[in-house]
Structure 1
Amino acid sequence: MLKKLQQLQAIIASRNSENLGDIAILKSDFFGAKVSPTVASKLQPVVGYYPVIDLNQLSQYPQGSFGREYANHMRANQLEPLNISPELEDIAKRNLFALRYLVTHDIFHVLLDFDTTYAGEIGVLAFAATQNYSKSLQIGLCLARLLYPILAPQQIQEIFANLAKGRELGKKADFLLGYRFEEHWEEPIDDVRKRLGLP
């Protein structure tokens, strides 16, 4: 109980952090996001890997590059990367799945070509659930499938089309969560997609 109270205090304190990833990783630590041993082994290439993402730098890359497309997506949707403070390194290390999923969520939007509407979100969620990242994502997909059509009835067609597309992409693509995307910002986005098995 004392540990949970300390975690809750850390979440509240992190609201003043400049790094938006801090509160997200602390919440994941509080709720105890878990993955299977199979997924944990596939995440070994990204253990301790969470470079800071600088949108200003990525905006300087050529048009059509992976980094530039990601920066354009983030700016168009008024989003900031979920960077993690060095002080939370220990928490990040023990929550590898949560950290990697949080950091790569918007990267997935760009690579899979899903926008940030309910229809776009369910596409990314369907992809991640199909890749078997965690049971919690599969549960989340079941809930989203029920709730999103109610929350956005004007998007019903797109929601179900993206649900199918996300599942199809999830079956075809490599295991993306363990990929070091941040080392490929300068490459053409189509080349990155092709390498990862994305059409």
Structure 2
Amino acid sequence: MANLKRFIKAYKDYFTKGETGDAALLESELYGFGVNPDVLVQLQDLAAYYPKIDLTQLSQLPEGTLGYEYAQHMLKNGIQPLEISDDLRAEAERHPFALRYTVTHDIFHILLGFDTSYPGEMGVFGFTVGQNYTKALNLVYPLIKLIFVMIKPMQAKAIFASASRGKELGEQASCLLAYRFEENWARAIADIRSELGLVLKDEQLEKQPNKATAKVLSEEGVAV
């Protein structure tokens, strides 16, 4: 694991330059404690797998494909694909879970139908817990929910609803971390969801929160 000095530099770059990749990778290493052995086996072939993502190129794909919808999600929210500094590449290869967890986060949003609100982020986190990736994620799950509710108390019901929905999806789906999304940008999202066991009843992408979450938000007077 990187030393304290490297952690400090990563977070300094995040706050001063907006460079999120290094900080996200090192944070994901902490989440990787107690990684599920079965998950680790599936990730061995992805240890050095880190293709560059070109949002402009993906934007040219047909609407409804994974690549197109991912690019729209990133551009709409002002997010850039995560870049890992050269000095951390070896670190990333030693920790395939941390690398894969980092680079797939925004792809999960698209596939699961969760937006980038607090309820949406909680939905994605709940999914990772349902997938049983690591003991660390399972342990901090209640704490993350509590923190989100403290930050957005008026959205508490939506946060809990999204967490439950995400966890349920995670329990029924194949291991998403092991799927090579970067080789399937041109495929329809519906086909990928079907292949991975992601049953989204409302079939929403990222245009609005899923119906269960939207209903709760509406009841609480939050515009959706």
Range of TM-score over shorter length: 0.7 to 0.9
Calculate the TM-score normalised by the size of structure 1: 0.87
Is the CA contact (8 Å cut-off) linking 1:123 and 1:162 kept in structure 2? yes
Percent identity, aligned pairs only, is: 46
Aligned residue number for residue 149 of structure 2: 149
Please give the per-residue CA displacement for 1:87-142, whole angstroms capped at 9, x wherever unaligned. Answer: 43211111211111010011101100001111011111111011111122112311
Aligned residue number for residue 139 of structure 1: 139
RMSD: 2.3
Aligned residue number for residue 7 of structure 1: 6
Is the CA contact (8 Å cut-off) linking 1:129 and 1:141 kept in structure 2? yes
Unaligned runs of 5+ in 1: none
Q: Distance in 1 between matches of 2:69 and 2:89?
A: 28
Is the CA contact (8 Å cut-off) linking 1:53 and 1:83 kept in structure 2? no
Q: Give the number of equivalent residue pairs.
A: 196
Calculate the TM-score normalised by the size of structure 2: 0.78
Kindly tell me: are residues 179 and 139 of structure 1, through their superposed partners in 2, closer, same or farther at Cα, counting changes over 3 Å?
Answer: same
Q: Distance in 2 between matches of 1:25 and 1:32?
A: 10
Deviating more after overlay: 83-92 vs 173-182? 83-92
3-state SS, counterpart of residue 78 of structure 2: coil
Letter of the 1:120 counterpart: G
Is the CA contact (8 Å cut-off) linking 1:7 and 1:26 kept in structure 2? no
Letter of the 1:91 counterpart: E
Q: Which structure shows the higher helix fraction?
A: 1
Kindly tell me: are residues 87 and 122 of structure 1, through their superposed partners in 2, closer, same or farther at Cα, counting changes over 3 Å?
Answer: same
Is the CA contact (8 Å cut-off) linking 1:11 and 1:27 kept in structure 2? no
Unaligned runs of 5+ in 2: 200-224
Q: Distance in 2 between matches of 1:42 and 1:153?
A: 38
Aligned residue number for residue 190 of structure 1: 190
